[in-house]
Amino acid sequence: MKRTFLIKYGELALKGKNRYMFENKLMDQIRHRIDPLGKFKVQKEQGRLFVEPLCEFNEDEVLNAIKEVFGIAYICPVVMIDTDDFDTIKDTTIAFLKEQYESFDFTFKVEARRANKNYFMNSMEICRDVGAHILDNFESLKVDVRTPDERVWIEIRDRTYIYSKVVKGLGGMPVGSNGRAMLLLSGGIDSPVAGYMVAKRGVAIDAVYFNSHPYTSERAKQKVVDLAKIISRKTGPLRLHVVPFTEIQLAIYEKCPHEQLTIIMRRIMMQIAERHAESVKSLALVTGEAIGQVASQTIQSLAATNEVCTLPVFRPLIGFDKQEIVDISEKIGAFETSILPYEDCCTVFVAKHPVTKPSIKSIKRSEEKLTDIEEMIDRAVNDTQVIKIKPSRD
Ligand code: ATP
Ligand code: MG
């Protein structure tokens, strides 16, 4: 009786001719995640993936690792036998149940599937016969075909797979199957969630963080590094670009009307983010903005920020309420880190009464006062520190 993991894909299954490409990315991502746990063989077979342990392994550890990969609908720990011989299947089902459960006081139903329609029994007959065999072996079990506590699955293909545990995956598409984008990652709640949402659709992520040292502390930067590590559990390794932003912020503070500070700052952030995006072949920017959340996210402010961008800007949280964002933040394990009370660049250089309906014309007039902004942007880009981020385990 060999144990292995059966992976069922979600939306990937709908892909046509390109499907092999998505499958290969998915296999890469799975390999990447389980590599630290030992030796495994990852292979595809008839529209499914299998992760076969070639070493001692802990089922929960393997499940938890695979569960973090986008593009998976379900993961089933299965026992596999190299035959479709019906007596062997019946006996293996009993051995499987003995291994899988500690007490036998539940109701069950057998679900059968056969790939070969010429198999000598149909699915109904397989269910009935295996069910009867289970009842013969475990007096305390009962059948319930409507709402069973447990379903025992028998899938007869070239080999036979038996399982009863079905673990839900994250859905989405494998990272790397849909290009690359640059996430503007602050230390807040929203941007890590925005990165997660875009990565879920198969987009590989890099990140850029605008650092206002010494107005913000080393701890504030470390918090962003920690958030990057948390999201990289799902997105895979990423490059965090730490941009020295203080010189630019001080110049804006000195020369521009204070009620326009945030918008001007955000327009410059976008331009620098684009420069870094281009250098790592990212095709879009990603932010954690949501309509109306703060003054810099009114529809007028978003339009003013967007006006400088040449790349598409993805704002996956645009229609979310804060609580909905918090719920996802908690689910992905970022919330505790996001709420640590370290100052960020926007809280340091913040105006008491920021404009909520900026006019682009007036913003541009103010920006003209920043006569050496191009040189400052060049310096910020050139002096950017790139940190390679690997997933953190807790
Ligand atoms: P968050 O919770 O992600 O910090 P927020 O609600 O505080 O977002 P803003 O401060 O207005 O909103 O920022 C909006 C978006 O701009 C953020 O979601 C993020 O994508 C980007 N951003 C803001 N500050 C920075 C920064 N210091 N470095 C990188 N990106 C930033
Ligand atoms: Mg913020």
146: confidence class by pLDDT, cuts 50, 70, 90: very high
d(CA 188, CA 301): 19
Q: Whose alpha carbon is nearest atom 6 of ligand 1?
A: 190
Question: What pLDDT is recorded for position 393?
Answer: 63
Minimal CA–CA distance to 328: which of 229, 193, 204?
193
Q: String of b and e for 188-203 (b: at least 16 CB within 10 Å)?
A: bbbbbbbbbbbbbbbb
The string of pLDDT tens digits covering residues 93-131 is 999 999 999 999 999 999 999 988 889 999 999 999 999
Question: What pLDDT is recorded for position 30?
Answer: 94
Question: What pLDDT is recorded for position 296?
Answer: 84
Distance 344 CA to ligand 2 centre (A): 7
What radius of gyration do the chain's Cα atoms show?
Answer: 27
Q: Is the CB of 188 under 6 A from ligand 1?
A: yes
Q: What is the mean pLDDT of the chain?
A: 93
Residue 342 has pLDDT above 90, yes or no: no
Q: Whose alpha carbon is nearest atom 22 of ligand 1?
A: 186
Contact indicator for 155, 113 with CB cutoff of 8 Å: yes
Q: Which of residues 59 and 345 earns the better pLDDT score?
A: 59
349: confidence class by pLDDT, cuts 50, 70, 90: confident
Distance 148 CA to ligand 1 centre (A): 48
138: confidence class by pLDDT, cuts 50, 70, 90: very high
Q: Whose alpha carbon is nearest atom 12 of ligand 1?
A: 289
* Main-chain phi, psi angles of 109, to 5 degrees: -145, 140
Residue 276 has pLDDT above 90, yes or no: yes
The string of pLDDT tens digits covering residues 280-290 is 999 999 999 99
Distance 135 CA to ligand 2 centre (A): 60
Q: Is 10 exposed, middle or buried (0-12, 13-18, 19+ CB in 10 A)?
A: middle
User: What's the pTM?
Assistant: 0.90
Q: Is the CB of 263 under 6 A from ligand 1?
A: no
228: confidence class by pLDDT, cuts 50, 70, 90: very high
Q: Is the CB of 290 under 6 A from ligand 1?
A: no
Question: What pLDDT is recorded for position 1?
Answer: 80
d(CA 272, CA 243): 8
Question: What pLDDT is recorded for position 116?
Answer: 83
Question: What pLDDT is recorded for position 114?
Answer: 92
Residue 82 has pLDDT above 70, yes or no: yes
Percentage of the chain modeled with pLDDT above 90: 82
47: confidence class by pLDDT, cuts 50, 70, 90: confident
Q: Whose alpha carbon is nearest atom 7 of ligand 1?
A: 188
Question: What pLDDT is recorded for position 293?
Answer: 85
Distance 354 CA to ligand 1 centre (A): 16
Q: Is the CB of 191 under 6 A from ligand 1?
A: yes
**Residues in contact with 29: Cβ distance below 8 Å, sequence separation at least 6, in sequence order:** 69, 70, 71, 174, 175, 176, 236
Distance 288 CA to ligand 2 centre (A): 8
Q: Is the CB of 313 under 6 A from ligand 1?
A: no
Question: What pLDDT is recorded for position 45?
Answer: 82
Q: Whose alpha carbon is nearest atom 23 of ligand 1?
A: 186
The arrangement of strands across the sheet holding 285-286 comes to 313-314, 285-286, 180-184, 204-211, 238-244, 385-389
Distance 188 CA to ligand 2 centre (A): 5
Question: What pLDDT is recorded for position 26?
Answer: 94
Q: Is the CB of 261 under 6 A from ligand 1?
A: no
- Choice from 182, 183, 190 to test ligand 1 binding pocket (greatest atom count within 8 A of CB): 190
Q: How many CA atoms lie within 13 A of 75 on its CB side?
A: 25
How big is the chain, counted in residues? 394
Contact indicator for 111, 151 with CB cutoff of 8 Å: yes
The string of pLDDT tens digits covering residues 165-189 is 999 999 999 999 999 999 999 999 9
Contact indicator for 82, 92 with CB cutoff of 8 Å: no
